[in-house]
Structure 1
């Protein structure tokens, strides 16, 4: 019998970053992009296992998908949409935003959006940057997303980290452009003794005890009254994936630790809390931000 969510009043955002084991930032310096087509393609079987898990739990989610994957697995994207989940953009080939200029970023997100929309017949309104790589170096990224009609982004990790992070960014939903209603939904962090702690999924969820994630999401839901934004990758439930021997030891530790435990931890997390699509949360947060803006004294005077 499925347990009831502990914070039933708050629906949290559940997301999957759809990329294969060879497309991750940890291996970008040892696996060339022109090798990808010859490697063991495991993304479809892993995503189908995730879809079955979500069906069993009655959970809906957003699948931020690489254009490279969408181009090769159109049937998979149609299946994701048919099961009631959102399909959104994760960029074309996992190039980090701060390694592009505005023109190349614009071409990247336009190509990805068109590919996803053509293959599964849904409108793409959401974007997540590879490796949460929108930060203080890329103020033009939000401008380009708004110009191309995206309604929300979930691309900021408001922490200090050696791989990514924008420590000064707000912890919860905000409008990154003063003149536009584009919403940024940062991945979840918790606070402990004045420090921000990454608590939104991925490697932190695999490596740390489950009790930490429970504590962090309860803090966000109960103490702060906000939805958590959680993410993971299909390769994280796949302990049988190939090993990349030439990768740095730190990268191998981050990538392979606790793969065999991930599926079980996910089932526990999904059963314990309420989960939904990121676009639904984005619309709610956009309305909240608009109401807050309208209530400000300067808005009332205008």
Structure 2
């Protein structure tokens, strides 16, 4: 019987203004004129990961990679997996298949030009995969991807995709197979809650997050954590949005680093690529051009 790694650490490498229109995201034409914190926040994350000898899967927004290619190279140099988060943080269910393909390939090509290795993992912006995009997984396979981490198994503001799977699992398409890394959830008061990233990670106390993490580990379920560089910069600029969105975006930012320190010291971590190579050796991923 295979022994499954207990934890996967992921980073969505985007800036504080790369959110959604509903949460005040400015148009792409204004991005270059805005102050940026992605470099400082991301380097703090890399240093923190070094401290605990943890390797992560870094889902780079193509826009960020193109503007700050040295961040891609730095992450690669430190042994982290380079992955795609799309080009311009566009919501998947608002795109056609052709629009999604173009956005996907633009980011993939930029990242591969920078790091000179195949980029084979993807995460949709804001976990915006829904049943409204039936072509999603086939398009990933068609464009050379092998892994995805877009399935958010509970309904949320910008997505939600039904699945009963708790561990990474394979999705078969006519164009190839995709290993899906669903976002980890744990039951709480009759509902499945994601304690391991976003607003809930910031909202719940550290002891609750660690308890839920341990609970999944006892069931042999690898916990998938996700974080953003902006969460390492509590004083970053605020965007205009409604009160609920504002609360979800900015609650308890000052608690993130101590929580991450506790999380990173709580168990061993593995990247998405390493997970596939360890648990599904028959589907081993190539890390370089042939």
- Normalising by the residue count of structure 2, what TM-score does the alignment of the two structures yield? 0.90
- Who is 1:278 aligned against? 272
CA contact (8 A) 1:26 1:255 kept: no
- Who is 1:293 aligned against? none
Residue 37 of structure 1 pairs with residue 28 of structure 2: no
Distance verdict in 2 for CA 1:185–1:68, change over 3 Å? same
Q: Deviations over 1:167-202 (max 9, x none)?
A: 445333222225543111101011346532223312
Gaps of 5+ in 1: 1-7, 291-302
CA contact (8 A) 1:30 1:247 kept: no
Residue 10 of structure 2 aligns to a residue in which SS? Answer: strand
Residue 58 of structure 1 pairs with residue 53 of structure 2: yes
Residue 265 of structure 1 aligns to a residue in which SS? Answer: helix
- Who is 1:242 aligned against? 237
Residue 205 of structure 1 pairs with residue 181 of structure 2: no
| Between structures 1 and 2, the one with greater helix share | 1
Gaps of 5+ in 2: 285-290
Residue 259 of structure 1 pairs with residue 253 of structure 2: yes
Q: Which aligned pairs between 1:1-302 and structure 2 lie closer than 5 A? A: 10-25=5-20, 28-29=23-24, 31-168=26-163, 170-177=165-172, 180-192=176-188, 195-222=191-218, 224-244=219-239, 246-286=240-280
Residues of 1 paired with 2:237 and 2:193: CA distance?
31
Aligned residue pairs total 281
Distance verdict in 2 for CA 1:53–1:76, change over 3 Å? same
Shift of 1:48: 0.7
Residues of 1 paired with 2:112 and 2:150: CA distance?
20
Shift of 1:9: 7.4
Residue 222 of structure 2 aligns to a residue in which SS? Answer: coil
Residues of 1 paired with 2:283 and 2:196: CA distance?
22
Distance verdict in 2 for CA 1:289–1:149, change over 3 Å? closer
Distance verdict in 2 for CA 1:282–1:12, change over 3 Å? same
Shift of 1:33: 1.9
Shift of 1:276: 1.8
Residue 183 of structure 1 aligns to a residue in which SS? Answer: strand
CA RMSD of aligned residues (A): 2.2
